[in-house]
Structure 1
């Protein structure tokens, strides 16, 4: 009779192979089930569809208030942007009380402005490191007294035709405000203050100013700028929301890495979270789940224009960029065109 030949221990190779195949099959099924379960868990933990929608209109941040726009191509840190002004459509000058008031009137929730310490213990609200480009003065801004800066014509250097005409010359005398003047003029308004240096002492000086304000007033102020002064602000005024360039990158990179767990990185806590619009869809839980997580971490989210390498992006400044936001988006929007974007949000 023909029969299968057994091995030395009496087992049959065909039967052992069948059992092993069955075990492997069960392991694969368990692994597949585990993968499906983990994937489903990640989806449920990060799906914006399952997150509550806060509703309401977006929070609009007017960068520099209503300002004169300029050619933004090939900019460097020392580029005189006033000499590259585009043909003006209004007569507002950035970082002025008049510009800030108009920004709030036209729908801004927050106005951003720049500060420099002065030799007489104040902070001047002015963008440039030196006064040479924009004014009729000379020298480093922080090496001058506020009283002297008040005498300058901040509209002196603006030109849209290569220096043939200067439409704001003589119209900006005395319009450079101090930080104290801004805070007293708008006691209940929200601001984002930009520290222009990398000097930690500047962060210490600004913290001293902020810490003298009532607690409710301090809640309306955020600060961003160089890593060193921002670290000083975080240390001395820990309740103030802040961000620096290094913190922005750390926040976004780490969130992309493990934000699926629901854990918010330390750099994203009590912070201003700036999100380029082309990166936003890659953030775990974008938009509502992400916004909820940041709000729980006492952070404010603002979408910027697209980041394309090099310098950080500009703002959401036109209808095409605005339409890239999710429908019914209720987070923050950073814009250089507050009038246009306010209209698009129905204000």
Structure 2
């Protein structure tokens, strides 16, 4: 009986030491105040915004924008230029294949919602898409007025145009489909770029195109649901030790704020560990659905103290000045 009690005591001591190790190895309590400011990822550049809570898979968002506060349209060179001037460290853009083998920078599955033509980008050449009015369908008052109609002609750029116009800027390129052929097509385009340019680019999208792209061009940073799961599920199981799975290397991880606390060492130690594996951490708002971002000054209050990762925002014009003002206080 005495031996049994001693044995139980040893087990309890071991468990206590193990728990203490797990806590100390993953706490941010002893981390000093960082001078490093979070980095900002502008979703689609400077864009017209809308109530994300009312969005579903087939929603035409151009028909539900708020009353415009600026003249920029998403996924255009002027909107990207404005975002960078505001203080964006990176801009996210969407690409869709064209009939003549290029990539148009455009978000929707079809052209019907926000343009003056129908069909998909695959039905047109890039030259033909240059004649399309991408501001045609925008309205904030249920169709009473269309403030951007006639102002979006010629504004749909190709991916080549964007990369040429911003040779030293960082972009997150979104392949909108799950077609492996698009990953192969993009690999051919990006493989022509020098390594120092590729380091400024990240690509995300469906599992199939990302897997194909990564096979053809392993040096580029990528993200898909598959790469996220292969990194984060093993980390949840073993991350308490400080171990980062090899599957996290050279990836981007979008972490919804609602589940962020489930990751060992969140946020400081988690980000530090992942950055050592060249994994970029981007926090997105809510559960991450429909591109929710940190879009108001009050949203920033939900960030962890001394957060040092990237922030996803749909309102770079609001968020960047908020950080600039904070930095000068």
Asked if Structure 1 and Structure 2 have the same fold, meaning a TM-score greater than 0.5 normalized by the shorter chain, the answer is yes
Quote the Cα distance in structure 2 between the aligned partners of 1:54 and 1:211: 37
Farther off after superposition, 294-303 or 28-37 = 28-37
Say what the alpha-carbon RMSD is for the aligned residues.
Answer: 1.7
Q: How far did 1:343 drift?
A: 1.9
Aligned in 2, Cα 1:312/1:165: closer, same or farther, shift over 3 Å? closer
Aligned residue number for residue 106 of structure 1: 86
Quote the Cα distance in structure 1 between the aligned partners of 2:42 and 2:211: 24
Note if 1:173 corresponds to 2:179.
no
Quote the Cα distance in structure 2 between the aligned partners of 1:37 and 1:92: 57
Aligned in 2, Cα 1:52/1:118: closer, same or farther, shift over 3 Å? farther
Quote the Cα distance in structure 1 between the aligned partners of 2:8 and 2:52: 56
Aligned in 2, Cα 1:249/1:53: closer, same or farther, shift over 3 Å? farther
Aligned length: 325
Quote the Cα distance in structure 2 between the aligned partners of 1:128 and 1:84: 15
Farther off after superposition, 287-296 or 51-60 = 51-60
Aligned in 2, Cα 1:155/1:277: closer, same or farther, shift over 3 Å? same
Alignment partner of 1:333 out of 298, 302, 311: 311
Quote the Cα distance in structure 2 between the aligned partners of 1:103 and 1:246: 30
Conservation of the 8 A alpha-carbon contact between 1:66 and 1:103? yes
Cα distance per residue 1:50-109 (max 9 Å; x no partner): 457764111100000110012323423322111111111111000000000000000100
Note if 1:244 corresponds to 2:224.
yes
Q: How far did 1:126 drift?
A: 0.7
Specify the SS of the correspondent of 2:87: coil
Aligned residue number for residue 148 of structure 1: 128
Quote the Cα distance in structure 1 between the aligned partners of 2:33 and 2:126: 46
TM-score in terms of structure 2 length: 0.94
Aligned residue number for residue 93 of structure 1: 73
Aligned in 2, Cα 1:70/1:267: closer, same or farther, shift over 3 Å? farther
Aligned in 2, Cα 1:321/1:248: closer, same or farther, shift over 3 Å? farther
Aligned in 2, Cα 1:195/1:305: closer, same or farther, shift over 3 Å? same
Specify the SS of the correspondent of 2:52: coil
Specify the SS of the correspondent of 1:290: helix
Conservation of the 8 A alpha-carbon contact between 1:202 and 1:229? yes
TM-score in terms of structure 1 length: 0.89
Specify the SS of the correspondent of 2:311: strand
Gaps of 5+ in 2: none
